[in-house]
Amino acid sequence: MKYIVGNYKMQLTTRETSALVKGVLHGLSLDDVLPEIILCPTFTALPDVQKLIKKTPVNLGAQNVASTGLGAHTGEVAAAQLVDVGCTHTLIGHSERRAAGESGDDVHEKILEALAAGLTPIICVGETATERAADQTNAVITRQITSALTDVAFPRKTPCLIAYEPVWAIGAASPATAAQISEAHSLIRHLLVGLGSVIDDIAVLYGGSVDASNALAILREQEVDGVLVGGASLKIHEFSAIIKAGTAVMTATHV
Ligand code: 13P
């Protein structure tokens, strides 16, 4: 299985989001072997998108979740509330949130909240340009994965989705190289196996400047189980082409 995840970030109004999702759905060929598609609009657009995707194979994800359950937490959105509007997934620990102060402990608590509510977390990790230049890439990934997932028990059949997003490749001119992606992904797999967590199924996605021109090559990589797409997910033709690349790879390899 390959995963294609669209992260709309904080870019669109509800009306613009609906138009985009309608366009993406229109381009889906239901006769194809489809990858697992997860759309993560802004909170305010979740109910509208839920209505649009209800009878389709597309899944709904949030971009963030509170680290606690329901309660007096102004401005937060609890995992149960995301489930209430139809979410099945949520991004956790995106680098844009970590840069705004989200800690490794926050990420860990958010994962526990998501799993307890029945959401599948998509956990984002990745190093900055400075960290890579200082040869800290493996140390950063190890720290982020370890603090996020040590002793976390995934319910049976809930996959552990990790998105490796090197910060320097987000919104950049080009994605990380196949060698850089493959090295990070195999480290992540190795770490997950050693953590003592209960995980049936591990999928490692790549994010950072994925678009229609490079998705096929990235998805073809053995170590890549999917892509997390920012900018190109806001363009119907780009995102539809990325989904088609997922279909092509799955069909070729009968994954
Ligand atoms: P871009 O695809 O715009 O580089 O963004 C990647 C990202 O941050 C997805 O979460």
Asked whether the predicted pLDDT for residue 145 surpasses 80, the reply is yes
- Is pLDDT at 16 greater than 70 in this prediction? yes
The closest residue, in CA terms, to atom 2 on ligand 1 is: 230
Residue nearest to atom 5 of ligand 1 (CA): 230
Banded pLDDT at 250 (limits 50, 70, 90): very high
The CA 101 to ligand 1 mean position distance, Å, reads 19
Q: Domain boundaries in the chain?
A: 3-254
Residue 218 Cβ contacting ligand 1 at under 6 Å: no
* Domain 3-254, CATH homologous superfamily name and number: Aldolase class I (3.20.20.70)
What is the rounded average pLDDT for all residues in the chain?
A: 96
Contact 162, 192 (CB under 8 A): yes
What integer is the mean pLDDT of 207-228?
Answer: 98
Whether ligand 1 lies within 6 angstroms of the CB of 165 is answered as yes
Q: Using a 6 Å cutoff on CB, does residue 69 contact ligand 1?
A: no
Amino acid occupying residue 239: F
Q: Is the pLDDT of residue 196 over 90?
A: no
Q: Measured from the CB, is residue 208 less than 6 Å from ligand 1? A: yes
Distance CA 69, CA 83 (A): 12
Ligand 1 pocket test, candidate residues 97, 161, 165, 218, most atoms within 8 A of CB: 165
pLDDT at 254: 55
What positions carry a catalytic annotation? 94, 165
pLDDT average, residue stretch 37-59? 98
Mean pLDDT score, 144-155? 95
**How far apart are the C-alpha atoms of 46 and 99, rounded to whole Å?**
24
pLDDT tens-digit profile of 117-136?
999 999 999 999 999 999 99
* Distance (Å) from CA 169 to ligand 1 centroid: 8
- Per-residue pLDDT for 200 more than 90? no
pLDDT tens-digit map of 154-182? 999 999 999 999 999 999 999 999 999 99
Report pLDDT digits (tens) over 68-95: 999 999 999 999 999 999 999 999 999 9
> What is the pLDDT, as a whole number, of residue 253?
67
Residue 199 has pLDDT above 90, yes or no: no
Q: Which of 209, 213, 242 for a ligand 1 pocket mutation test, highest count of atoms within 8 Å of Cβ?
A: 209
Q: Is 228 in the pocket of ligand 1 (CB under 6 A)?
A: yes
Provide mean pLDDT across the span 142-156: 95
Percent of the chain with pLDDT over 70: 99
Reply yes or no on whether the pLDDT at 152 is more than 90: yes
Give the C-alpha separation, 108 to 147, whole Å: 7
Angle, vertex CA 85, rays to CA 81 and CA 91, nearest 5: 70
